[in-house]
Amino acid sequence: MSQQVNNTLWALSRNSIFESNILKGEDRVDVAVIGGGFTGTSAALRFAEAGSNVALLEAEYSGFGGSGRNVGLTNAGLWINPEDVERSIGKRYGERLNDFLSAAPDMVYDLIDEHNIECDAVRNGTLHLAHSEAGLKAIEERAWQINARGGSVMLLDKAETYKLTTAENYLGAIHDMRAGTIQPLEYCHGLMKAAQNAGCKVYTNTPAMSIRHKRGRWHIKTPKGILIAERVLMATNAYLEHILPLIKRSYTPMHYCQLASDPLDDEKLKHFLPGKNGTWDTRTVMRSYRTDADGRIIIGTIGNIFMDNAPILTSWANKMIRETFPDVGPVNWTYKWSGRIACSKSYIPNIHDLGRGIYSISGFSGRGIAPGTAFGRAMADFILGRTNSRDMPLPFNTVKSVPFNKIREIYYETGSQLTRLFDHL
């Protein structure tokens, strides 16, 4: 099997250092959180602040999963339109979920302020770019649906879009001021540190290898120890390993890859997103563009990245820059990486009550910075007994398999690779 390329800009350029231990021997807690991404760290922080005896187990390091590999677009809402949310889970829950996720970026930026998380947070709005007439209709409809529900996104015409992006061939955009960008790994790291400062025991490099319910408590075995907890929150999304494999059936893995350049000089940067907004477009095989605090340009698209398809990706990226941002000139792609997304059948996350005090949330479907942060807190409040299941933004459901899951996975990956192969020619 081909070796995966994974030199993540966010991990290689981060400033903060995080100290934590491997779990050795036995520890007993009220609550165990499994998974150290946005969801798990946000939940752990909430538990710790409520005075719970809580421990977080992370198989690798904070942000190893999607949280440390993503684009960093702190968006409001989900990929699907508000009306589709209401159609899928009913009007009552749909309206509640739309409101909950519309406000979720506020929670992210408030946490950043409250805990002084240094993560290059910018809140100047994101741009959803229309790449075709059909894309333009799609964003017009989306903007209308958001604004009909009390949002205030703006529709930009072609000239206004060009002014903020200097990107050729885009016909318009939604400018959503609720949103912005962050350095996602630093944010995740900051949340984990905040949880630890609030009293959460953090065990990194500590995978949960097995889990059994004995005498009213969960016994979670790790390579060097055992964690005994009354209640457990699984926050492993697309990176679930070793335990409870049934959850994997409820989502389809899909990959997204990114390339980041060397830092560019100011002259070149004038020709790549002068408005400094994070952006993505309406293509089925979507593209994203942003810059980082050091002036690197970062582009992304759907699909995985291996040693043998990396040259095609580089050639695709060069062609894309020539065609879309022609005045930038040649760039050197220093970082290339990919990450796994958990796509649920409806593109809405699933919350599961697996019985006897164990709960799970997964299926963020590529929207996890604000939703993971907000749902981590909501799940913690529910487990703490502060809210009941009827108050949750989503109904709990039983684990259901995505139909034709393997075929769906192959379809996503093959479709994106073929599109790129065709586009790079």
Ligand X SMILES: Cc1cc2nc3c(=O)[nH]c(=O)nc-3n(C[C@H](O)[C@H](O)[C@H](O)COP(=O)(O)OP(=O)(O)OC[C@H]3O[C@@H](n4cnc5c(N)ncnc54)[C@H](O)[C@@H]3O)c2cc1C
Site residues (CB under 6 A) for ligand X?
34-40, 57-60, 64-67, 69-73, 75, 207-208, 235-243, 256, 339-341, 364, 366-369, 372
Residue 128 or 268: which CB sits closer to ligand X?
128
Residue 110 or 327: which CB sits closer to ligand X?
110
Min. distance of Cβ 238 from ligand X in angstroms?
6
Angstrom distance (rounded) from CA 65 to CA 56: 15
Tokens in use for 303?
Answer: 């699909």
DSSP 8-state symbol, 367: -
Min. distance of Cβ 326 from ligand X in angstroms?
26
Residue 71 or 328: which CB sits closer to ligand X?
71
Residue 75 or 98: which CB sits closer to ligand X?
75
Measuring CA to CA, how many Å separate 408 from each of 282, 403, 404?
Answer: 20, 8, 6
Is the CB of residue 305 less than 8 Å from the CB of residue 313? yes
Dihedral (CA of 334, 64, 395, 377) sign: negative
Min. distance of Cβ 329 from ligand X in angstroms?
26
3 state SS of 331: coil
Q: End-to-end distance of the chain based on CA atoms, in angstroms?
A: 26
Measuring CA to CA, how many Å separate 181 from each of 71, 262, 336, 370?
Answer: 8, 19, 19, 11
Residue 109 or 239: which CB sits closer to ligand X?
239
Residue 161: phi and psi, rounded to 5, are -65, -45
Min. distance of Cβ 267 from ligand X in angstroms?
28
Residue 241 or 391: which CB sits closer to ligand X?
241
- For helices 184-197 and 104-114, angle between their N-to-C axes, nearest 10 degrees: 60
Min. distance of Cβ 172 from ligand X in angstroms?
21
Min. distance of Cβ 157 from ligand X in angstroms?
25
Min. distance of Cβ 341 from ligand X in angstroms?
5
Dihedral (CA of 182, 309, 128, 167) sign: positive
Residue sitting closest to ligand X (CB): 368
Enumerate the β-bridge partners of residue 174. Answer: 128, 155
Tokens in use for 176?
Answer: 């959503």
Residue 196 or 268: which CB sits closer to ligand X?
196
